[in-house]
Amino acid sequence: MRLRFLAATASLLVARAAGAAPELAFLHVEANAGGSSGGHVALRVGDATWHYQNQAGLLLLVREDSRRFVHDTALIENRPIHVLRVGVSAEAERRVRERFQARLGAQQSQLDALAALRAERELLALLARRAAGSPLRPGEGIAVAGAGYFAAPGWPFEPDPALARLRARVARERGESFLARRADALRRELQALAPSPGAAPALPRLDADVALPASDGFGARAADLAAGIEALRVLAQARPLQPDAIWSGGDAAPALDADAVRALRAFRERLADTLPALLDATRPDWGTALLVGMARLAALDASLREGRLRVLDAYPERAARLDSARLRREPGLLPALLVDARARVDRELAAFAAREPGARQAAWSDLEDSANRHRELARAAATGSALRVQPERLVPLRAAPFAELAAPPAAAGSLAAALERTAAGEGQLERELGRVHGYELVTHNCVSELFATLSAAFAGDPILEGEALGGLVDGRQGLEFIPFAAAASVSRHWRLVGRETIPSLRQARVAAMREREGELAVALREASPLTARAGADGARESFFLFYTDDAVWPRPLFGALNLGAAAGETALGLVAAPFDRGRTLLRGLEGALMSLPELAFVNLRKGSYDWVPESARREIGVAP
């Protein structure tokens, strides 16, 4: 019976069938420890799920793949999701989708503007020091993305064969001296470049829905010129890749079959044809594009020479690492992950081979990402060392410093003034971002902003919004700022065409066990993480004795026992604090905090998982 209930949810998570009536789905995610402990809300539109997250004090819009959202939420975080579906017109669905997308773009442009001001301020500070007579320290300069893959100047090297061919082609088509002349012109331009005198243009009052234009100021132009000069230098010298730029470990990388060889060869030729066009490009950032393109070209060439897939190491220099001790605690994990990752690389390689030539950059990027994750797992498994990790897409942008930065003493005054202006502009933008996007528990949280964006999709016209959704929910009335209260309002006011609950992984597993083994035995065994077989005992969970999410009447008693266990962990943490930097102490305190509501019949903590394979989606009734 329960399994049938679970299977019924499957249809919720697959893409809407072509021709099906358009709909929006309001998602209420139940509370759990670790984050969003008051629950969370999101809006599913087609295959995208939109939600606002508090990231270091800023409430930022996030777009996620709907399956990924369910995987992270219902499986890893072990939180049930209540789905409230409302039928809408195609026009209403389009309005909502485009409004959320525009909001995301505006938000990104504002964060990019802040990053550009920061980079400009750092460059100006460096130039001001140079003008005052300080020499550059090692590693200082403009960070040129893509340049870090190539052999550094000052070391002997053999020219890279693919880049040597590219250089010969450019020389044939544009003349032998083209690269040198172009580089000289860029150097002159860089030397003449100076910050604009006078006051910086005033920052407009920020609006969350209005994009800022991409920066074209002093810092951005200096970085463009530096990247151009560096790209021309690499090409002129046909500099080879650094030994660690591509993985040559021997050898877990997939061997290339005939289809893959054909596809890689075609992509290599396409790059060789199109990269020279970047030398005339009107886009200001052509230098970085050329550097990354040349590094990819060299990696492709190496793959074809060696008959195995070689991709650029795309992990950022300061990638987070999972320490090896933690990996050793779960000895079965890395082998399982490796199998999963290898299958993914094979799929991506096949997908790359099947793509049209004009679509292969994106497919190569997918393949790069998967191959990087696979090889990193293989390396960590083989050496027992820490594992580099990155939640975002891995893009090869390894930087090297560009140090040809002259700042004559005469420029000291103007540089100091420009530095002051840029720092002031950065501070102003930071304050504006805080004003517009700043998180507040009651008035500006994941609920209020989701409904505000939804209203904006209908131009703030309540009649239009009411007609589209069946009714109005403001997200700021009464207790609506709390996710479950907002969900109750949606239930009351919107024109729902269906409602379902996607169970958490532990709920689904316990339900399946009950069917197989009987109620009582499973209920007793699964009540505690100490005896449970359904898991949800993530490594970072605080210590607790009983699950209380499915135990209503014993909840205060279990809560008291959990509070006692948390007190014990806290006491242990006090003793261990000098040795573990207070980690155990903090976990104990968090455990106590999560246990308190249980005394009043309120459950927040549900346990979580460290890793769940995609195949586990079947357990909650979702196709992997």
Partner 1 sequence: MVRRESRLRVAGTLALAALVAGLAACSISYSSQSLSKSISSPFKSSSGSSSGESDSAYLDEVRSYAAGFGASGGDATAFRRGIGSIAERRGIHDWEDDDATCQAVGQGLKRAGLTQDAAAALLGELFAGRKDRAAVAMKGFDAGE
C-alpha distances in Å from residue 554, one per residue of 41, 354, 379, 520, 526: 29, 57, 48, 15, 14
Provide DSSP, 412-454.
Answer: HHHHHHHHHHHHHHHHHHHHHHHHHHB-BTTTBSHHHHHHHHH
The answer to whether the beta carbons of residues 473 and 490 sit under 8 Å apart is yes
What tokens were used for 530? 């100490």
Residues 194-213 interacting with partner 1 (rule: CB under 8 A): 211, 213
State which of residues 152, 320, 521, 571 lies at the interface with partner 1 (CB under 8 A): 320
Closer residue to partner 1, CB minimum distance, 251 or 285: 285
* Closest by Cα among 222, 146, 212 to 187: 222
By the rule CB under 8 A, 178 interacts with partner 1: no
| Nearest-angstrom CA–CA distance, 183 and 392 | 35
State which of residues 482, 510, 565, 620 lies at the interface with partner 1 (CB under 8 A): 482
By the rule CB under 8 A, 266 interacts with partner 1: no
Provide DSSP, 362-392.
Answer: HHHHHHHHHHHHHHHHHHHHHH---EEE-SS
What tokens were used for 57? 């004090």
By the rule CB under 8 A, 34 interacts with partner 1: yes
| Nearest-angstrom CA–CA distance, 360 and 290 | 17
By the rule CB under 8 A, 596 interacts with partner 1: yes
Smallest gap from residue 388 Cβ to partner 1 (A): 9
By the rule CB under 8 A, 383 interacts with partner 1: no
Question: Per CB under 8 A, which region of 82-90, 440-448, 499-507, 573-581 contacts partner 1?
Answer: 440-448
| Nearest-angstrom CA–CA distance, 100 and 91 | 14
Question: Per CB under 8 A, which region of 258-266, 366-374, 462-470, 496-504 contacts partner 1?
Answer: 366-374
Residues 64-83 interacting with partner 1 (rule: CB under 8 A): 65-68, 72, 76-77
Residues 510-569 interacting with partner 1 (rule: CB under 8 A): 538-540
By the rule CB under 8 A, 612 interacts with partner 1: yes
**Alpha helices (runs of H) in 502-608, residue ranges in sequence order:** 505-517, 519-525, 555-580, 583-599
Smallest gap from residue 185 Cβ to partner 1 (A): 17
By the rule CB under 8 A, 362 interacts with partner 1: yes
Q: What is the C-alpha end-to-end distance of the chain, expressed in Å?
A: 22
Q: Which helix (H) or strand (E) holds 6?
A: helix 2-8
By the rule CB under 8 A, 344 interacts with partner 1: yes
Give how far the C-alpha of residue 341 lies from the chain's centroid of Cα atoms, to the nearest Å: 18
What tokens were used for 97? 């989708």
Q: Give the CA dihedral 566, 572, 576, 582, nearest 10 degrees.
A: 20
Question: Per CB under 8 A, which region of 3-11, 150-158, 338-346, 544-552 contacts partner 1?
Answer: 338-346
Question: Per CB under 8 A, which region of 85-93, 102-110, 167-175, 256-264 contacts partner 1?
Answer: 102-110
**Alpha helices (runs of H) in 132-177, residue ranges in sequence order:** 161-174
What tokens were used for 372? 């990087």
Closer residue to partner 1, CB minimum distance, 471 or 582: 582
Question: Per CB under 8 A, which region of 80-88, 165-173, 175-183, 337-345 contacts partner 1?
Answer: 337-345
Closer residue to partner 1, CB minimum distance, 15 or 168: 15
Residues 389-418 interacting with partner 1 (rule: CB under 8 A): 389-393, 395-397
C-alpha distances in Å from residue 35, one per residue of 27, 166, 594: 17, 51, 11
Closer residue to partner 1, CB minimum distance, 229 or 522: 229
By the rule CB under 8 A, 336 interacts with partner 1: no
Residues 448-477 interacting with partner 1 (rule: CB under 8 A): none
C-alpha distances in Å from residue 195, one per residue of 91, 216, 418: 47, 11, 6
Closer residue to partner 1, CB minimum distance, 296 or 514: 296
State which of residues 359, 521, 574, 575 lies at the interface with partner 1 (CB under 8 A): 359
What tokens were used for 304? 């074809």
Question: Per CB under 8 A, which region of 130-138, 159-167, 362-370, 542-550 contacts partner 1?
Answer: 362-370
Question: Per CB under 8 A, which region of 147-155, 292-300, 455-463, 523-531 contacts partner 1?
Answer: 292-300
By the rule CB under 8 A, 53 interacts with partner 1: yes
In this structure, the number of other CB atoms found within 10 A of the CB of residue 580 comes to 12
Smallest gap from residue 364 Cβ to partner 1 (A): 8
* Closest by Cα among 248, 357, 245 to 303: 248
By the rule CB under 8 A, 102 interacts with partner 1: yes
By the rule CB under 8 A, 95 interacts with partner 1: no
Question: Per CB under 8 A, which region of 132-140, 149-157, 347-355, 499-507 contacts partner 1?
Answer: 347-355
Smallest gap from residue 320 Cβ to partner 1 (A): 7
Closer residue to partner 1, CB minimum distance, 155 or 553: 553
In this structure, the number of other CB atoms found within 10 A of the CB of residue 432 comes to 18
By the rule CB under 8 A, 260 interacts with partner 1: no
Closer residue to partner 1, CB minimum distance, 382 or 623: 623
* Closest by Cα among 79, 83, 84, 78 to 30: 79
By the rule CB under 8 A, 16 interacts with partner 1: no
Interface size with partner 1, residues (CB under 8 A): 115
State which of residues 315, 439, 494, 558 lies at the interface with partner 1 (CB under 8 A): 439
By the rule CB under 8 A, 324 interacts with partner 1: no
Closer residue to partner 1, CB minimum distance, 70 or 415: 70
By the rule CB under 8 A, 282 interacts with partner 1: yes
By the rule CB under 8 A, 193 interacts with partner 1: no
By the rule CB under 8 A, 150 interacts with partner 1: no
| Nearest-angstrom CA–CA distance, 554 and 275 | 68
Smallest gap from residue 65 Cβ to partner 1 (A): 4
What are the phi and psi torsion angles at 60 (to 5°)? -115, 140
| Nearest-angstrom CA–CA distance, 37 and 56 | 16
Contacts of 386 (CB under 8 A, 6+ apart): 321, 322, 323, 324, 327, 380
By the rule CB under 8 A, 44 interacts with partner 1: no
Smallest gap from residue 610 Cβ to partner 1 (A): 5
Smallest gap from residue 373 Cβ to partner 1 (A): 6
Provide DSSP, 175-204.
Answer: -TTHHHHHHHHHHHHHHH--PPPSPPPPPP
Closer residue to partner 1, CB minimum distance, 113 or 415: 113
